Chain A
Amino acid sequence: MIPYLNMKEFGKPLRDSQVKRAQESVARMNEVMNEIEAEDQRIRDFGLPVDLVHKRGQQTVWERIEYLVDPGMFFPLHTIYDPEHEESGSTGVVDGIARISGKWCALIGFNNKWIAGAWIAGQADNNLRVTDIAKTLNLPLVWLVNCSGVKLPEQEKVYANRRGQGTCFFRHAELEVSGVPILAGIYGTNPAGGGYQGISPTILLAHKDCNIAVGGGGIVGGMSPKGFFDEEGAEQLIDATRHFKQVPPGSVKVHYDETGYFRYVFEEENQVLDALKEYMEGMPAYDPRFFRLSEPAEPKFSPSEIASIVPYNQKAGYDFDNVLARLVDNSEHLEFRPGYGPEVYTGLVMIDGFLMGAIGNRQGILPNYPEYTNEYNGVGGRLYRQGLIKINEFVTQCGRDRIPIIWFQDTSGIDVGDIAEKAELLGLGQSLIYSIEQSKVPQMVVILRKGTAAAHYVMGGPQGNNTNAFSLGTPATEIYVMHGETAAAASYSRRLVKEKDAGRSLDPVLEKMNDMVQHYYDKSRPMYCAKAGLVDEVVHFEKLRDYMVAFTNSVYQNPKSICPRHHMMLPRLIQSQIVTGLDRPKKEE
């Protein structure tokens, strides 16, 4: 294939001195990842021991995923997500982007090691995030259903509410209405909510021992309560439970033989997964060559070097272009408006042979900038007028050319003060949100280091529910509205003045200020971000490209709209440098 775009090499090799100086920083970040990986393992070990699951004739959800997915092609998300502090420390589902039989999908399965895959607190939000991915990327959704229904002692945290568990069934319907198929492999006992988890997908593939039902034995027994339990009521309940244990409602005898809901029923666990693989082969997908503009190629510099470039120290500068050069094909790019808005990078890159837009905060000193003031100098990581205008233009053109976008955030916010207000930064920030929303191209964001203030929103943040498919953190990620020290100063400076004027000790106020700094620190670290869902997953720097490749292939698998490469304007705009225009060819002598 002849490359369509004449991209330029960028990035520099790492120097020995750089690697040496980064050693401590790399060690600190490895500690962060070790802590997160230990939490992942703790969640996997929680609940029923694996051998007991096997004795029941089942596999764990992780074993099912391992068998189902093409080797090495599962990119987990929400691994330690636990927004409601559930006792398992999880949301009871395992999910991510996956490739099955060569086709990409959003994959989610119930953790049958923990109370038989019950609906637990925080799960509805996780499920909606996964359906968001399917919706944004127009990907099939694959469910491994094994759900005992609501965790009854905590039903108030699970069942109702605007974005409660039932919302997921409306979302399934919404996906189907918009043409997104949902495949389900169904195992175990799935009463009530579990029944709707089973019935709401498009294709239902059943294991012989599974059932899906409006209610289970316990629910039927409780249908006509006296308002209390006595011995007579207990006997009735015992009878009802024994009966339904023998004949569970909604077994394959009913939903295969009678209603025909189940397409197929299988004797073995893995046969259900084999059927899912077969169905996945038939999912709508373009051959990748339809969209590829070049042959896939690895970066010239290894992604494993990024940990030596991005410092753990939040104040330390680094070269963002050197990071990006380690993530994109051939370490090549076409930069959009270089020199204008120097605090941000915008440009076109190739990922696995597909054209993508990349946007990221640059770091370092910006002398004689921004152009709207001589009162102070600019510094990378902050957004100024030119940078916001440049990103607005770039995102708008990506929307026009149907080019998906990958964002990289390391931002301390948008410039503040009256000078910045006069320069229209508040309005330009919201203009960028408008540009992102109207672009309607799928996007992902990497919070490379700092995600701060409104810049966290406008730099492709996860708040863009209709465009952002998912967000990744790194071991250097910190997300907060402002730095803890800034927040403490803002909250307590007047109080300090009061105490000082009254001749009182400053110690009690200082203690509160330091508590606030610590609170901000604790609630912004990668572990917290992953637990609270501020990012969808925290990954090693060296894994970023793998997720980018998965995202890119997913976006281009079956996009809802197409721009032919020869109709794209952005490459032409870049090559003409927008303002100066192309040089006229020299006349031959």
Chain B
Amino acid sequence: MQSVECNNLTKRYGSVYAVNDLSFSIAENSITGLIGRNGAGKTTLLKMLAGFSLPTSGTVNIFGQNPFNNLLVSANLIFIDDEMVLPENMNLGEILKAAATFYENWQAGLASGLLDYFSLDLCSYYPQLSKGMKSTFNMILGIAARCPITIFDEPTVGMDAAVRKDFYRALLKDYLQQPRTIILSSHLLGEIEDLLDNILLIDAGEKRLHLPMDELRSYAVGLSGNFKLLNELVKKEDIIFQQQLGKDKIYLVVRNRNIDFSAAKLKGLEISPVAANDLCVYLTAKHKGGIDDVFKHN
């Protein structure tokens, strides 16, 4: 079953298309990574999924319904970001108690266990928390609510490396116990790629790729070696990224198709995997040579 379905979804702010003609669907009980550069439209998209804002045109369906002003969706979906509005006059313990009344599957034991693990004091107040601690508290809300659709928009903002790692593991462990549909947005794909079933890459409001993670990993390869040899081996339209290495050496990132790997190896070309994160950067770059292109002309 599809939990999320979007058809020709568009959101326009003035003359800017923040989300442009997006169509995709997300299967129930899967983890999807929403990846894109700054300003790609990730947050705009997620807010429409959560029913926080209306599309300019096109449709969003959550459990087959329009999420805007929808009680069924509100009770079964949680949206976590770094601009959570939480009551200032309630301490963390009281907020957790209140959350328990909103969400049917609320895990009180898990919430207090996580709070304790991350050294958050039940008696402290949300506005007094540091940026990273706020994110940590939001994350605890998001996991403990066990909503059938759980959306995290840049959940790790301000968290230190250790907390981020713990967060992803906690999310995975709780997902194993209670599978649900999770959408995670991030620009640090490297940290989350192992958790994901699928990746949705958007660029300037448009869909660039929507693939199972395994396919993304084998989508492209890095080849480096002699310029001439590589040109014989690789088709021009398959090149995603290129970088000059020394006089006649070049590094190419190419679509992983029609490449004879054993021939390449025997010719002394180096084959390397392309990190999923780098690949996403190359795919959403406006210039094939990256930042180096800017300096070439000066």
Asked if A and B bind, the verdict is no
Q: Show the binding face of A for B, using Cβ within 8 Å.
A: none
